[in-house]
Every structure is written in C-alpha cells, then in structure tokens.
C-alpha cells in the first residue's frame, strides 16, 4: 500500500461542483475518549512520513479519509470508493485512482507540490493516510474509513512489498529531505525481518508509542488510536477478511456510511470491478504508478490477496511473540484486528 509519489499533472480535475469548504476543527485532549474528540498531538517524520502535510489540509464537507497501518487493502479500498463514486465512467475524472486519492503523509512529492493539487480537486475527495489518528487532524464533516487486517497477514504482505522494492523505491525514500536514518535493505531472511518487526520501532518516530513495526511503524498503535473513537459517527471500520468474504455486503454498507447514492445495478458493477481477480488483471492501473517502484511492477504489488500464509513460515515461538504484543491493545480491538469480528 505504499503508493509512489503521484506525479504532478497540469490538467485540473473536474467532476461535479466542489463540496463547500468547512475548516473548523474540534481539538480536545486525548485520554478521556468518552466525550472527547480526537486531536492531532504529534508529528511523524521518517523515510516515508511527513505528517506536517496535514497541517495544510483544508477539509470540505464529505471528504473521505482512508486510514490503514499498511498492507491491509488500502489500494483495494481506494478502488471500491472510486467505483462507487463514479459508476458512470464518462463522468469520472481522467486521472488514475492513486492520483485522485494521494497518500497525503508520504514525504514525496513535497507538500508545496502535493497540497495545492489536493486543494484543486473538484470532485468529492477520498484521501489516504498511513498515520495514527494522533498524527492527523479530525473534523466532524469528514468521513474516516479504517481498514484493518490480521497482524501476521499484514506482516507477510509487508515482507513481499519490502523485498521487492527497487532502486527507484529506495532512491525516493532515502533521497533529499530525509529525516532520520535511511530505510535499510530488506533482510533476505524473513525471520530476521520478523524479529525486528515484532519487537522494535523506527527510531525517528515517537518513541513512547512506536515500539513495533521496524523499519516501518507500529500497526498496533495505529488501530488503537482509531478504535478509541470507534463510537464516533464519522469513523467506521472495515476488515480485509470481511471484504474477501462478502465484498458486496461490505461495499453496500460503506455506500450507506459514506452517503453515496448508488443503484443496486451500479453497486453490482462496482463490486465486479473490485474483485481480487479484476484488481490483479488491471494491476498496472490499480497499483500506485503501475507498480514502478517494485520489481515485477503492479502484479507484485497486488500479490496473493489471501490470508494465513504465515502459518507455514513462522514458528510457534514467533507466533507467540505476536500474541503477546496483541495484549497491548484492548481485547475487543485485538479481536477485531485478528478476525474482523466485534
């Protein structure tokens, strides 16, 4: 789900009338979440992140923010929302999905290029973040969609992504503007990668919470920050396993939540365009920049789409390490992350 920098385009995206601007935020202190609302309390800087991009974000009524830790179906969700927003492709913007739905907090392209492009979008915007809720602004008039996946399935997909990063990928991440250390080359031994991923965080990120996910970021902290506010009407959760099991049901539920007016017939078409088979077939358009940052391109990015591959790879001891880490989040949050069940 690490989309490459979306290239600047000279054309202005035009669809229908823009949603009215509404830039009021509602910051409160984290901790007492019963009556509280989220607020941004921290910045993230690393080989991937520049969270200060969000400080220039001006929300519009109806904006959608797709939130995930990583490798949880972000690109899949972007496609689902795109096809529901634009069932009539003659009215759809000409730009590819990864341009319409940029990764806001990726540090490339720099914010002085990226944020004006986001501000110029004319249709309903659906943006992407891999940050915890503590590092992005919260607005009552924006809809947040958190996509979760079982931790060890995320790990397997992350390893596939990491080991296939090409020179262009490393060049972008370790290039000018880097804060902190360069991302190291992927270990050839998956067990070496797992030992780091399960036990430590990346040093340039907030040390009190970033204690897992090396050399990326903490997927447990990510889901917990959103789960703390799961009762808010503009935060919803979707699970990768449930999308695999009942894509039509999940997309129908999402359409209602996002207040997208779509006919049953158009929903059926959108579902068909978002099946894994269809996504794999169209991987060079579905994957960010056609997968140019990965060896093997888009077909590497949209890999297996299956869960449970870790069972034949990780030892019982390694699995136990993950189960122990899971205890750091509330029991209902851990259950949802691992199974998709509340």
Which residues span the domain enclosing 262?
51-339
Quick one: residue 54, left, alpha or beta (phi over 0 = left, psi -120 to 50 = alpha)? alpha
Instruction: Evaluate whether residue 64 is within a structural domain.
Output: yes
Task: State the CATH number of the domain containing residue 142.
Answer: 3.40.50.300
Instruction: Evaluate whether residue 19 is within a structural domain.
Output: no
- Residue 125 tokens read as 């915007």
Instruction: Evaluate whether residue 173 is within a structural domain.
Output: yes
Cα torsion 134, 302, 96, 15 to 10°: value is: -60
Residue by residue, pLDDT tens for the chain (342 residues) are: 434 333 333 333 333 333 333 333 333 334 445 669 999 999 999 999 999 999 999 999 999 999 999 999 999 999 999 999 999 999 999 888 888 999 999 999 999 999 999 999 999 999 999 999 999 999 999 999 999 999 999 999 999 999 999 999 999 999 999 999 999 999 999 999 999 999 999 999 999 999 999 999 999 999 999 999 999 999 999 999 999 999 999 999 999 999 999 999 999 999 999 998 887 676 555 556 556 666 665 454 455 667 889 999 999 999 999 999 999 999 999 999 999 998
SS (H, E, C) 36-77: CCCCCCCCCECCCEEHHHHHHCCCECCCEEEECCCCCCHHHH
Task: Kindly report the number of other CB atoms within 10 A of residue 273's CB atom.
Answer: 18
Instruction: Evaluate whether residue 77 is within a structural domain.
Output: yes
Instruction: Evaluate whether residue 239 is within a structural domain.
Output: yes
The pTM is what? Answer: 0.87
Quick one: residue 31, left, alpha or beta (phi over 0 = left, psi -120 to 50 = alpha)? left
Tally the domains of the chain: 1
């Amino acid at each position: 789900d690490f989309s490459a920098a979306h290239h600047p385009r000279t054309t202005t995206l035009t669809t229908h009338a823009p949603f009215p601007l509404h830039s009021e935020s509602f910051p409160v202190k984290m901790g007492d979440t019963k009556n509280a609302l989220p607020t941004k309390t921290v910045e993230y800087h690393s080989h991937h992140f520049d969270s200060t991009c969000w400080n220039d974000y001006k929300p519009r009524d109806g904006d959608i923010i797709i939130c995930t830790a990583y490798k949880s179906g972000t690109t899949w969700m972007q496609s689902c929302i795109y096809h529901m927003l634009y069932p009539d492709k003659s009215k759809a913007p000409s730009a590819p999905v990864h341009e319409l739905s940029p990764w806001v907090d990726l540090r490339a392209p720099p914010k002085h290029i990226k944020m004006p492009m986001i501000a110029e979008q004319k249709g309903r915007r659906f943006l992407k973040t891999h940050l915890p809720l503590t590092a992005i602004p919260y607005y009552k008039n924006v809809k947040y969609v958190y996509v979760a996946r079982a931790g060890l399935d995320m790990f397997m997909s992350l390893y596939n992504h990491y080991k296939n990063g090409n020179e262009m990928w490393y060049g972008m991440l370790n290039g000018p503007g880097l804060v902190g250390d360069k991302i190291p080359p992927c270990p050839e031994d998956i067990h070496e990668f797992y030992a780091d991923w399960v036990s430590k965080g990346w040093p340039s990120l907030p040390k009190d919470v970033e204690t897992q996910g090396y050399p990326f970021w903490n997927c447990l902290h990510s889901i917990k920050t959103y789960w703390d506010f799961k009762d808010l009407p503009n935060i919803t959760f979707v699970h990768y396993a449930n999308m695999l099991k009942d894509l039509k049901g999940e997309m129908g539920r999402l359409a209602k939540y996002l207040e997208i007016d779509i006919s049953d017939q158009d929903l059926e078409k959108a579902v068909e365009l978002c099946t894994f088979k269809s996504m794999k077939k169209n991987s060079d358009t579905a994957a960010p920049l056609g997968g140019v940052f990965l060896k093997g391109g888009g077909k590497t990015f949209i890999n297996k789409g299956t869960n449970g591959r870790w069972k034949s790879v990780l030892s019982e001891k390694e699995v136990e390490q993950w189960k122990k880490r899971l205890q750091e989040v509330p029991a209902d949050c851990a259950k949802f992350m691992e199974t998709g069940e509340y």
